[in-house]
Amino acid sequence: MKNIVKELEKQRDKRINENIKSFKEELKESDKLTRVESYTLDRKTPYKRNRVEQVQRRIKEVHNKRLAYKVAQIDHVNAAPDKLPNDLTLIINFYKSNTWGYCPKGSDNYGHETSSITGCGYCKESTATAQLLNQNEIIMKQLYKAKNKPRNLKQSNSDSLGYGSGNGIVPSFEGGVGVSCHVRILEKLGYKVTLTGNNNTTVLTVSNK
């Protein structure tokens, strides 16, 4: 996953420079708490001494910490097996809510599950499948490997991996996009996918080819 990490490092450096530049520009207009300090550094009051130096150092620390977290996540996923040991079966059960109508709750045969998906105005079913797929390290490893290809790093996730694969450098399955989008992404990764069910239950089976 070296190519993804390199892109994350470039993104970190870019954001550090942007934050430092924005901080200095805001500081010219007022010595009050700047937006960079407030939102990026989560500060409530300005630093009292050597403020510019401390803010610049803290900006670097914040973005290095975020990068380290993402790299650790990538390394963890990269240690997963390359193939599913057996078919992955996602089961989405719907229950009636007096407030939100029919709501899904998902589980799979790998021990993952979701909370109840409530609300309205979006595809709750694909939100459940997204939560389950994002928990499966074997599936995520294949998604990361696909993104790691140089040609795919130059494209958006939608163009290279399929609609519903996230917007950042590190891809993921998005909720609210429709289960058919997840099916197309999985098929593009080389899996065989079967979608069955009825009004109360959706079953998504993912198999190695």
Please check whether residues 73 and 134 belong to one and the same domain. no
Within 10 A of 18 (CB to CB), how many other CB atoms are there? Answer: 13
Residue 83 lies in a domain: no
Please check whether residues 123 and 168 belong to one and the same domain. yes
Please check whether residues 127 and 30 belong to one and the same domain. no
End-to-end CA distance of the chain: 23
Please check whether residues 35 and 119 belong to one and the same domain. no
Please check whether residues 116 and 68 belong to one and the same domain. no
Total count of domains within the chain: 2
Please check whether residues 173 and 110 belong to one and the same domain. yes
Query: Can you tell me whether residue 40 is helix, strand or coil?
Result: helix
Please check whether residues 70 and 157 belong to one and the same domain. no
DSSP, residue by residue, 91-156: EEEEEEETTTEEEEEEEETTS-B------SSS-HHHHHHHHHHHH-HHHHHHHHHHHHSHHHHTS-
Within 10 A of 99 (CB to CB), how many other CB atoms are there? Answer: 8
Name the domain boundary from 78, 111, 139: 78
Range(s) of the domain holding residue 105: 88-208
Per-residue pLDDT of the chain (209 residues; tens, 9 = 90+): 999 999 999 999 999 999 999 999 999 988 899 999 999 999 999 998 999 999 999 999 999 999 999 999 999 999 999 999 999 999 999 999 999 999 999 999 999 999 999 999 999 999 999 999 999 999 999 999 999 999 999 999 999 999 999 999 999 999 999 999 999 999 999 999 999 988 899 999 999 98
pLDDT of residue 114: 97
Q: Is the pTM of this model over 0.85?
A: yes
Please check whether residues 121 and 181 belong to one and the same domain. yes
pLDDT of residue 31: 86
Residue 162 lies in a domain: yes
Please check whether residues 113 and 54 belong to one and the same domain. no
Please check whether residues 131 and 30 belong to one and the same domain. no
16 closest CA partner among 52, 62, 53, 47 = 62
Please check whether residues 135 and 115 belong to one and the same domain. yes
